[in-house]
């Protein structure tokens, strides 16, 4: 019994430490990134939940800078891949080259690609064909890469943040639903407000050169990722998450009329898993040790937005995914 109490006390202390470090991390990132507080919070939730993010926003909103700054504050190796129509899978995973070994004999040597990092920025992922997009699938799901018959384990922690530009659709290859489902969150980056934009212009047109300090080590991140898994969740919270996801499926007896009328395909079980993981992470970032239904609601939109497929009726009536999700929550 004493061991259990000590274990609980240790976890409670870890929750407190994470909450404090999270506040420090936000302050550190704010040296470089102005505004976008909610996006930063959701990316951190995704990292600690061992998830991946799909970030959608027009050019010039500091997507790359945000990820790079985050990697510096988390003391993680950062790698950026610019996705283009001629990008090959080996450009991501790596390739074999023929060279002389120590005995002077010819031998193949595997040269690791940019996927061998901790934080991967897949910039404009929809600009490359599906064959190359799928090169990330195994890495995202298994945290492994297979090349020339050999399997290489990726360094932990491993996190993919892919970006898409919503206004240029020519020459793009939409991500298949199976690959979209691999992303925990779908985040939409909005324009900053007037005051934030004033501050951005002041900073970026002066001699201001912020130094980002390290807040989390690799070991810290992996420790907190384990902590998320330990967080207890009440049955009623899990029931709420699973019930909400099941109501997104047309034909389900509990599905509301708006779903049956406007949704072709609803969310799968992975959505329920991510709702609970996101709720767990959100609660411990705020210094609490057990999530409630409000923690689930906090992550509903980014979890479900890319997992619901609307039909023609929704398009004809001008009904958006966001509106449908809001109706579900109400």
Q: Give the residue-averaged pLDDT of 237-246.
A: 94
8 A C-beta contact, residue 56 and residue 189 = yes
CA atoms 92, 96, 99, 100: torsion sign = positive
pTM above 0.75, yes or no: yes
pLDDT confidence of residue 7: 47
pLDDT above 60 for 25: yes
Domain 232-330 fold: Helicase, Ruva Protein; domain 3 (1.10.8)
pLDDT above 50 for 4: no
Of residues 249 and 9, more confidence is placed in 249
Mean pLDDT of the chain: 85
**Integer distance in angstroms from the first to the last C-alpha of the chain?**
43
Of residues 275 and 216, more confidence is placed in 275
pLDDT digits (tens, 9 = 90+) for 137-184: 778 888 888 877 788 888 889 999 988 877 666 667 778 777 788 899
* Superfamily for the 1-230 domain: P-loop containing nucleotide triphosphate hydrolases (3.40.50.300)
235-246 vs 293-304: helix crossing angle, rounded to 10: 30
pLDDT confidence of residue 251: 84
pLDDT confidence of residue 6: 46
> DSSP string covering 246-269, please?
HTTSTT-TT--HHHHHHEEE---H
pLDDT confidence of residue 34: 80
pLDDT above 90 for 12: no
DSSP code for 118: S
Each domain of the chain, given as residue ranges in start order, spans: 1-230, 232-330
The answer to which of 48-52, 259-263, 280-284 has the lowest mean pLDDT is 259-263
84's CB contacts (< 8 A; 6+ apart) are: 127, 128
Q: Give the residue-averaged pLDDT of 252-267.
A: 87
């Amino acid at each position: 019994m004493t061991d259990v109490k000590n274990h609980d006390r240790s976890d409670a202390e870890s929750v407190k430490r994470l909450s404090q470090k999270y506040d420090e991390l936000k302050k550190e990132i704010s040296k470089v990134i102005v505004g976008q507080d909610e996006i930063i919070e959701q990316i951190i939730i995704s990292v600690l939940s061992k998830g991946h993010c799909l970030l959608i926003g027009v050019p010039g909103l500091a997507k790359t800078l945000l990820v790079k700054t985050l990697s510096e504050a988390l003391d993680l190796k950062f790698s950026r891949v610019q996705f283009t129509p001629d990008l090959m899978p080996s450009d991501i995973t790596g390739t074999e080259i023929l060279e002389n070994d120590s005995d002077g004999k010819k031998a193949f040597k595997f040269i690791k690609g940019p996927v061998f990092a901790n934080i991967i920025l897949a910039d404009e992922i929809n600009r490359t064909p599906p064959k190359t997009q799928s090169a990330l699938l195994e890495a995202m799901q298994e945290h492994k890469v297979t090349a020339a018959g050999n399997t290489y384990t990726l360094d932990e922690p491993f996190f993919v943040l892919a970006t898409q530009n919503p206004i240029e659709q020519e020459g793009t290859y939409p991500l298949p639903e199976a690959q979209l489902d691999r992303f925990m969150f779908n985040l939409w980056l909005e324009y900053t407000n007037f005051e934030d934009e004033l501050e951005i212009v002041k900073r970026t047109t002066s001699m201001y050169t912020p130094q980002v300090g390290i807040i989390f080590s690799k070991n810290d991140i992996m420790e907190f990722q384990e902590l998320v898994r330990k967080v207890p969740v009440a049955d009623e919270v899990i029931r709420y998450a699973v019930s909400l996801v099941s109501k997104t499926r047309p034909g389900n007896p509990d599905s509301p009329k708006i779903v049956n009328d406007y949704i072709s395909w609803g969310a799968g079980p992975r959505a329920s898993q991510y709702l609970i993981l996101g709720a767990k992470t959100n609660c411990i970032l705020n210094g609490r040790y057990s999530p409630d239904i409000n923690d689930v609601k906090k992550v509903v939109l980014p979890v479900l937005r890319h997992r619901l497929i609307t039909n023609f009726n929704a398009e004809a009536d001008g009904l958006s995914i966001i509106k449908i999700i809001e109706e579900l929550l109400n």
